[in-house]
Amino acid sequence: MNPTLHSILAFVQTWWVELLCAVLIVLVVPLIAGYLALVERKVMADMPARLGPMRVGPPGLLQPIADALKLLIKEDSIPDNADRFIFWLAPVLSVTAALTSMGAVAFGPWFQAARDINIGLLFVVGVSSLGPIGIVLGGWASNNHYSIIGALRSTAQLISYETTAGFALVSGLLLAGTLNVRAIVEAQRTDHAWYIFLAPVGFSTYLIASIAETNRAPFDLPAAASELVAGYMTEYSGFRWSLYFLAEYANMIVVASVGTTLFLGGWLRPFPNVHWLGWLDAAPTLLLAAVGAYCVFRAGKQPARLQSLVMWAVAFSSFVVSAIFVFASPFSHLPLAKMHDGLYGAFWFLLKVSAYIYIFMWLRFALPRFRFEQLMRLGWHILIPLALVNVVGVAIALALHSEFSWNRWLATFFTTLATLGAAMMLLRWNDKYSAAAALLADSSIAEDLHAG
C-alpha cells in the first residue's frame, strides 16, 4: 500500500471522533446560530407577552432557514471608497476566530474537536480575542464615520473587558489547577463542588465581562442602533452581514461554554457525587418526553394542517431522542450504553449553556444601554480591581483551607465577604472621584467657552 495513504488512514483511525466533531461544528453551529436568533426574537416578544415570528413554518420554526436563504442570495453592495479586499476579509476573520475557538471547547466528555490539548482554555480565550481584529478592520475598510466609531468603541470595549475576563478566569483556574478542559470538569467532580460556589465573585465578574465581550446589550455600544446606525457593520449587507452576525452568536456560545466549563461544572449533573440524587440522571429522558407530550397535546389545536404536522414532527423527534437516552442508560445492554457518558454529559452541558445564553437575552430586554464612558468606568474603575481582589481572595481561601485546615466553605464565606467589602469601597471611591471629575469638567467647559 502507498505509505502516504497508509499514514493518512492511521491518522483518521486515531482521530476520527475529533474530525467528526470538527465537521459537525462547522455544519451545525451556523444553524444553531440561526435558531438562537429565533429564540431571541421569541424571548423578546414574550417579555411583553407577544408572539414573535409566527408566519414562516408553524410557530415560526422555519424563520431562520428563510432568513438564511434570503441573506445568501441577497444583493451584496460595497461602497465605492471602501477598501475592497479588507472589506471582504474582515467578516471572514471574525467568523473564523469565533468558530476556531470552539475547537477546544468540550461539549460533553466525548465531543471535542481537539482532545487532550493541555492549554485548552488558554486556546479558547486567545483565539476568540482575535475577533476584534475582524471588527476593527471591517469598520476601517467601510470608510464610513459610523463604522469607524463603532469599530473603535468595539475594540476599546473588548480589550478592556478581556482583562476582567482574564482575571475572573484566573480565580477559577486557581481552584482547578489545570488548563485542560476535561481536567477542569473532572476537578470539579473530585472537589465535590462547582466552582461558582467557591468563587462566586469570579463568576459574576466573568458573566458581566462576557456580556461586554460579545457586544451584547446593555453593553452593545459598538452597534448601538440609536447612535451609530449599525456601528461597524453599517455598510455590510447580505451574506457578509450574516457572517458578522454568525460570529456574534458563535462568540456567545463560546463564552457561555467557557463559563459553564469553569464555573458551572461543565457536563456534570447537579450534585454528581450524591448517590441518593441519582434519579437526576433520568432528567434528560423525562424532560424530552415531556416536550414531546406537550407537542402531541398542542398538535390538534393548531389552526392549519401544516402547523399540526410540524408539531407532530417535533414530538416524534423528541421521543426519538428521549428513547436514545433510555437506550444509553447504564441499565440497557445495547451497544449504545457505551455512549452513556458522552450523551448524558452533552445534555447537561448544553442545558447549562442554554441557561447562560438565556441570561444574556433576559438582560438585553431588561436593561437600558450604558453610555460609553460609563461602560469604560465600570470596566477600569470597578471590575478590574474587583477581579484582582477576588483572585487574591480565592488564593487566601485555598491557603487557609490547606495550611490552617479551615473549613473550605467557611474560608470561602469570609474571603467572599472581604471581596464584597472591597467592592463597596471601590464603588464609594468611584462616586467621590466621578463627582470631583464632573466638577472639573464643568470648569473646563466654562474655560472653553471663554476661550472660544
Partner 1 sequence: MPAAYIPLLLFSLLVLTFPVVTLVVFKCIRPGSRGGPAKFQPYECGILPETSARGRYSARFYIIGMLFVVFEVETIFLFPWAILFRTWLAQHLAAFALSYMFVFLGILLVGYVWLYKKGALDLA
Q: How far apart are CB 447 and partner 1 at their closest, in Å?
A: 16
Q: Which is nearer to partner 1, 179 or 288 (CB)?
A: 179
Q: Residue 246 is which amino acid?
A: L
* Positions 68 through 87 that interact with partner 1 (CB under 8 A): 72-82
Distance from C-alpha of 236 to C-alpha of 350, rounded to nearest angstrom: 32
Judge residue 327's burial from the number of C-beta atoms within 10 Å of its C-beta, 0-12 exposed, 13-18 middle, 19 or more buried.
Answer: middle
Handedness of CA 29, 96, 108, 398 (dihedral sign): negative
* Positions 270 through 309 that interact with partner 1 (CB under 8 A): none
Considering only the stretches 200-208, 285-293, 342-350, 377-385, report the one whose residues sit in contact with partner 1 under the rule CB under 8 A: 377-385
Residues 6+ apart with CB under 8 A from 264: 194, 196, 352, 356
Q: How far apart are CB 72 and partner 1 at their closest, in Å?
A: 5
Distance from C-alpha of 410 to C-alpha of 219, rounded to nearest angstrom: 35
Considering only the stretches 23-31, 309-317, 335-343, 412-420, report the one whose residues sit in contact with partner 1 under the rule CB under 8 A: 23-31
Q: How far apart are CB 424 and partner 1 at their closest, in Å?
A: 17
Considering only the stretches 14-22, 288-296, 356-364, 405-413, report the one whose residues sit in contact with partner 1 under the rule CB under 8 A: 14-22
Q: How far apart are CB 58 and partner 1 at their closest, in Å?
A: 28
Q: How far apart are CB 186 and partner 1 at their closest, in Å?
A: 14
Q: Which is nearer to partner 1, 23 or 410 (CB)?
A: 23
Q: Residue 295 is which amino acid?
A: C
* Positions 84 through 143 that interact with partner 1 (CB under 8 A): 88, 91-92, 95-96, 99-100, 103-104, 113-117, 122-123, 140, 142-143
* Positions 34 through 73 that interact with partner 1 (CB under 8 A): 72-73
Considering only the stretches 155-163, 259-267, 303-311, 405-413, report the one whose residues sit in contact with partner 1 under the rule CB under 8 A: 155-163
Q: Which is nearer to partner 1, 336 or 392 (CB)?
A: 392
Considering only the stretches 46-54, 159-167, 299-307, 310-318, report the one whose residues sit in contact with partner 1 under the rule CB under 8 A: 159-167
Q: How far apart are CB 203 and partner 1 at their closest, in Å?
A: 16
Q: Which is nearer to partner 1, 123 or 267 (CB)?
A: 123
* Positions 176 through 195 that interact with partner 1 (CB under 8 A): 177-179
CA-wise closest residue to 189 among 112, 121, 290, 269: 269
Distance from C-alpha of 435 to C-alpha of 230, rounded to nearest angstrom: 33
Residue in 162, 213, 220, 248 binding partner 1, rule: CB under 8 A: 162
DSSP assignment of 356-414:
HHHHHHHHHHHSPPPPHHHHHHIIIIIIHHHHHHHHHHHHHHHHHHHHS---HHHHHHH
Q: Which is nearer to partner 1, 57 or 166 (CB)?
A: 166
Q: Which is nearer to partner 1, 41 or 74 (CB)?
A: 74
> Could you say whether residue 257 binds partner 1 (CB under 8 A)?
no
Show the site string, 219-238: x = touches partner 1 by CB under 8 A, - = not.
----------x----xx--x
Three cell numbers, residue 377: 468606568
Which helix (H) or strand (E) element contains residue 238? helix 238-263
Q: How far apart are CB 71 and partner 1 at their closest, in Å?
A: 9
Q: Which is nearer to partner 1, 22 or 293 (CB)?
A: 22
Three cell numbers, residue 264: 458551572
Tabulate helix, strand, coil % of the chain (nearest 5): 75, 0, 25
**CA 26 to each of CA 37, 347, 383: distance values in angstroms, whole numbers, following the listed order:** 18, 20, 34
**What interhelical angle do 145-176 and 384-403 show, nearest 10?**
10
Q: Which is nearer to partner 1, 23 or 367 (CB)?
A: 23
Q: How far apart are CB 170 and partner 1 at their closest, in Å?
A: 5
Three cell numbers, residue 184: 477542569
CA-wise closest residue to 288 among 324, 340, 253: 324
Kindly calculate the radius of gyration of the chain based on its CA atoms and give it in whole angstroms. 24
Three cell numbers, residue 359: 441570561
Q: Which is nearer to partner 1, 62 or 170 (CB)?
A: 170
Q: Which is nearer to partner 1, 241 or 347 (CB)?
A: 241
Spatial contact of 264 and 270, defined as CB atoms under 8 Å apart: no
* Positions 388 through 447 that interact with partner 1 (CB under 8 A): 388, 391-392, 395-396, 398-399, 402-403, 433, 437, 441
CB crowding 271-310: b at 16 or more within 10 Å, else e: ebeeeeeeeebebbbeebbebbeebbeebeebeeeebbeb
Please count the residues of this chain forming the interface with partner 1, following the rule CB under 8 A: 89
Q: How far apart are CB 311 and partner 1 at their closest, in Å?
A: 32
